[in-house]
């Protein structure tokens, strides 16, 4: 459909790549994920068929994957209307091509069953969707409040109001929180203020730790060091106060003053000159 009289179909670029690459790169993908992709594909075909079109070139290379692994049909070059004579040669690999298209004769009637052969089933897409193999709980999806991409809801963290942050953006946030003067609001116990601008709810440190364990452990380490440094500084301040009070009280006695100075030197210098952590 690239003719000037017919217009063209433009599609977003799918970073998830195509199903062909996904199958190659994920040989051990779990059944639920495979099933989810198959269901998405059947819904897409059902939608196309119910609009009177047949794709005619269903193969993994023509199925793109959104970040949530929702499949998206692509390459509409070979799309035919129902019941028309086949006008274009097909690029489909033989293993995905319906037998009626392989016969050495003009195909005078394109049926949706052509696409269904390519996905290994011959009932209609809707009938296939009703098969028990595809009766699964729909996966809850959520749009990330930071990057706006859609992910399965368990691939990130959410506040009680359902504001969702994907793992990638959460990782960025946790790393940002570890910087001095961080703009990201993390509490010392690992709880995080929800990223939605008008939301006061918290996301627990536990869910943060589960979602991005490495970044979180790193952040925790930094917080612990800060805490130790603050505690040491406070300890030193208390000691200094007591020494000052003692000096005031015994200010006129040079022996006591000398004695206190010795304590001051030997005790108070015993801390790191850079960060004041007590040795």
Interface residues toward Zn ion, by CB under 5 A: 144, 146-147, 159, 161, 163, 166, 169, 194, 196, 199, 201, 272, 274-275, 277
Query: Residues 7-16: contacts with CB within 8 Å, 24+ apart?
Result: 9/76, 11/64, 11/72, 11/74, 14/64, 14/65, 14/66, 14/72, 14/74, 15/67, 16/64, 16/65, 16/66, 16/67, 16/69
3-state SS assignment for residue 152: strand
Q: How far is the CB of 20 from Zn ion (least distance, A)?
A: 26
Asked if 106 and 114 touch (Cβ cutoff 8 Å), the reply is no
Which residue number, 107 or 174, has a Cβ lying nearer to Zn ion? 174
Residue 29 or 196 with smaller CB distance to Zn ion: 196
Looking at the Cβ atoms of 117 and 164, the one nearer to Zn ion is 164
With respect to Zn ion, which residue has the nearer C-beta, 27 or 273?
A: 273
**What is the distance between the alpha carbons of residues 91 and 128, in angstroms, rounded to a whole number?**
25
Q: How near is the Cβ of 176 to Zn ion at its closest, in Å?
A: 13
Query: How far apart are CB 107 and Zn ion at their closest, in Å?
Result: 46
Q: How far is the CB of 262 from Zn ion (least distance, A)?
A: 25
């Amino acid at each position: 459909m690239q003719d000037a009289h017919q217009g063209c179909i433009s599609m977003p670029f799918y970073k998830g790549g195509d199903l062909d690459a996904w199958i190659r790169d994920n040989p051990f993908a779990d059944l639920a994920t495979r099933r989810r992709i198959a269901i998405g594909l059947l819904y897409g075909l059902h939608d196309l068929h119910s609009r009177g079109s047949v794709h005619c070139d269903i193969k993994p290379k023509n199925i793109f994957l959104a970040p949530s692994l929702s499949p998206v049909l692509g390459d509409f070059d070979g799309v035919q209307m129902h019941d028309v004579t086949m006008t274009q040669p097909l690029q489909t690999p033989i293993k995905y091509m319906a037998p009626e298209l392989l016969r050495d004769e003009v195909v005078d009637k394109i049926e949706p069953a052509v696409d269904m052969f390519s996905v290994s089933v011959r009932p209609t897409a809707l009938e296939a969707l009703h098969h028990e193999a595809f009766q699964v709980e729909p996966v809850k999806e959520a749009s990330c409040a930071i990057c706006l991409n859609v992910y399965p809801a368990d691939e990130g963290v959410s506040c009680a109001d359902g504001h969702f942050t994907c793992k990638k953006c959460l990782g960025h946030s946790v790393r940002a929180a570890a910087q001095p003067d961080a703009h990201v609001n993390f509490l010392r116990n690992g709880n995080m203020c929800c990223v939605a601008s008008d939301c006061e709810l918290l996301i627990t440190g536990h869910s943060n730790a589960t979602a991005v364990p490495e970044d979180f452990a790193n952040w925790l380490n930094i917080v612990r060091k800060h805490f130790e440094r603050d505690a040491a500084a406070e300890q030193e301040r208390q000691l200094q106060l007591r020494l000052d009070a003692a000096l005031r009280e015994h200010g006129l006695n040079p022996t006591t003053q000398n004695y206190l100075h010795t304590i001051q030197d030997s005790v108070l210098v015993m801390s790191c000159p850079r960060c004041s952590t007590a040795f």
